[in-house]
Amino acid sequence: MLMGGIKMFKGCFVAMVTPFKNGDIDLDKLESLVEFHVEKKTSGLLPCGCTGEAATLSHDEQKRVIKLVVEMADKRIPVMAGTGSNNTEEALDLTKYAADIGADAALLIMPYYNKPTPEGQYRHYKKIAGEVDIPIVLYNVPSRTGKNMLPETVAKLSEIDNIVAIKEAGGSVDQVSQILSLCDITVLSGDDSLTLPMMSVGAQGVVSVIGNIIPDKVQKMIDSFNNKDLETAKKIHYEILPLCKAMFIETNPIPVKTVMSWMGMIEKEWRLPLCEMTEENEEKLKGVLEDRGVI
């Protein structure tokens, strides 16, 4: 299982949005999103991450979404379940559940708000990894957690058998270089605009927001790089760069869900405290999309 997991973490994993309708999870749209990615040959799916608004889902809802995506994927596409929390016992419960219902891996954000020390971070992940038989993916995102996971901590954690990868969203290619100079953990970019630069120093792909709307384009960029067609990879990188940046003109996933609603993929709905974009930013977003031929 673990060896399969290690081989699995390459390409474009899409950080799925959670579609809502009248305040509830839109199950029909969720199923259509899974089918969309199966059809597009997306490398894998990540339900219930930051893009999936996990922070506003109850734990019962989070488990429901993970279970539904696993069942809908039906082993046609790997599922990396978002099971992180700043409460170690809650993260352990969610991760055990993901393992029990057949998820292929679990992504655990570094505990947010309480800002644990490197030793606290290590003990958090070690406890969870030691009690579940599922590949664990670390998630470093200082903009959300308020603290950077040091490369030395990542290297120490990589010595644990089932901690096999890290989603690195610190915005630093240098951080990826430092991590890979210390250990051979698989690195996935956590920033769409840095996927190609991070791959140039050893990352294997991306956990993508923009992949919700153009997964095939992101996958082609990655495949081109791996096939040593650097010109095509670079061309796609610059082609999609404005789209990647536009997805963050307001808090993620507000822009990407707006675009997906325009494309008829989901309803235009979030859960508070997230809400619709300002009209000014909607116009900016629409301009980028029209310029790039997405809508």
Q: Is 269 helix (H, G, I), strand (E, B) or coil?
A: coil
How far is CA 224 from each of CA 11, 143, 214, 220, rounded to the nearest angstrom? 11, 30, 16, 6
Of the residues 10, 156, 167, 257, which is catalytic?
Answer: 167
Task: Convert 95-140 into a string of H (helix), E (strand) and C (coil).
Answer: HHHHHHCCCCEEEEECCCCCCCCHHHHHHHHHHHHHHCCCCEEEEE
How many other β-carbons are positioned within 10 Å of the β-carbon of residue 202?
14
Please choose, from the candidates 148, 130, 131, the residue with its C-alpha nearest in 3D space to the C-alpha of residue 139.
148
Active site residue 75: no
d(CA 210, CA 115): 29
Q: Is 236 helix (H, G, I), strand (E, B) or coil?
A: helix
Of the residues 112, 122, 125, 139, which is catalytic?
Answer: 139
Host H or E run for residue 21: strand 20-21
Active site residue 139: yes
Helix intervals (H) in 173-275: 173-182, 195-199, 215-226, 230-246, 254-262
Residue 165 β-bridge partners? 137, 186
How many other β-carbons are positioned within 10 Å of the β-carbon of residue 153?
21
Host H or E run for residue 23: none
* Interacting residues of 219 by C-beta distance below 8 A, sequence separation 6+: 11, 12, 40, 41, 42, 43, 211
How many other β-carbons are positioned within 10 Å of the β-carbon of residue 290?
10
Catalytic residues: 139, 167
